[in-house]
Structure 1
Amino acid sequence: MHSLLTIAAIRRWKLFQMDMKNTFLNGDLEEEVYMKPPPRLNHPPTKFGFTSSPHDTALFICKTAQGMVFLFLYVDDMIITRDDVACVEELKQSLSQKFEMKDLGVLSYFLGLKVTSLDDGYLLSQVKYASNLVSKAELNDSNSVSTACKPNLKLIPIDGSPLSNPSRYQQLVGSLVYLTTTRPDIAYALHIVSQLMAAPHFTCYTAMLCIICYIKGTLFHGLHFSTNSSPVLRAYSDADWACDPSNHRSTTSYYLFLGNSLISWWSKKQTIPSHSLAEAEYIALGDITSKLLSLRWLLEDIGIP
């Protein structure tokens, strides 16, 4: 989705949204039922001339004499974009003839993500989601903090008293994970507090609340996809060395830009211990290279060499 928004911003395309009604029926089915999908389900958007990108199965592409049409599909929600608005309207009508659709007009909200159209691009944010998370953590009256975690934060399994009920900690950390869709600034701190999900202790809980207090003071932060850019991939990676106190594994972090827009990032512990900082850096370089190749192939699908 980030790549598509960046391309739409660079090419100054409008984004449209549609919703398919009654994709799911209400009610719990307690019986075991075997079903054969109806014939229509055997023909997804490919029936309308679209082909699924082999590098992102949620992205469908239709090549016409006038250009390319892009359809990003998630269950029953879809984003449609291209340079020719008339072609988009024609596609909307075709979809509405086959399915019961709701035309939501210009894209504003998608899967809880707010998309704001600006003069210089698009802003992707989760203000409402972040605000609800602060309320869920009961931190509305707490002071905000300037950073998501303390410098050199390390959590050890035996450090602190174990939580009697870890479910609340697990729920809040899970909510923070979805917030990283637009907030790369909390990725590393969240990586730290996610390591002890099975048996968190009070120190973990305090560190997790620090992230939410940081979110409280930065509710309106998000990702900006700029029009003043060119579709050129740039990647940066880094790694520490054996900084995990429990198993001495290193942590990889990388950031991927398409032009001036950040489209992908990662902060995760490496799967094996490294014998040196150089080895840890090479592992991080391998991770970012793999992701870079995947995005390069996706851009080729979109029509960007």
Structure 2
Amino acid sequence: MPPEIVLQTQRLSKRFKQRWAVRDLNLEILQGDVFGFLGPNGAGKSTTIRMLLSLIRPTSGDIRLFDEPLTMSQHRALRRVGGIVEKPDFYLYLSAVRNLEIVGALYGGVDRRRMMEVLELVGLKDRAFDRVKTYSHGMKQRLGIAQALLSDPELVILDEPTSGLDPQGMKEVRDLIIHLARDQRKTIFLSSHLLSEIELVANRMAIINRGELVVQGEVSRLLEEGEQYVMIRAEPLRKARAILRRLTRFVHSMSEAGESLKVVMSFDDIPAVNRSLVRSGVAVHAIVPRRSLEDYFLALTEQSLSDGPNARVSGKTQRQ
């Protein structure tokens, strides 16, 4: 059987005065997805999420959650959803547990055992009774995710959960998202303006720009459209770099990446490049083919910009 459609929008639109924040958005999220919702800042991601959580009313269009229509008067399916929008809010002078108790009251009360379960899940059990004002930014982000998980939802909607985090904090949130999807069997809807974050965790994704859908599909398929490059680990690295600079027939561009070289080139030319390095006395430890969505993403968003600015109410927009 095909996976259940957990969340679906049809021509979802939101207008603020004379500006379309979201227009004719069609999304489809399947059970078990880690669905990346990608777009530049101001693209309409948070507005979309607010509509999905019934925090604001759409101007037009439909939302279905677990095959039930979602309206301002009919939102039973939201009981199966947990989410955070933008920066989560807390009572800073209260502990994490007390903050969860306040959120739990919205669900009719949540027992202490469940609170400790979600705090352990997000790695905050040891700080459960500390005041939130003593938390780092990354810890506050994880506490926000704990709030979203409190009711044990099937669908978790996270709006820019790695925003403002340092690399270690970003990794902790990424690992948590992977754990929720793989081990807790949650469906994740994850928004971000960071392409690298989506590439690392999502299996399906959509790109939005100026409120309109640019592309949607499996990350693996979209990666086929991306830039080909290889990571080369070799010694001595300086000599390898000098040789690669001379191989202009194969090497399009090159940059350092830690103790490796990132070389933009065709995968078909890997054997020839490897031979040239070895014959020149370079010890090649690894050549790893990779693809990046970065150029593809930039090309798509630039194309949508070239189609013209977001239409005003009286105008028209071009849609893909």
Shared fold, TM over 0.5? no
TM-score range normalised by the length of the shorter chain: under 0.3
| TM-score normalised to structure 1 length | 0.25
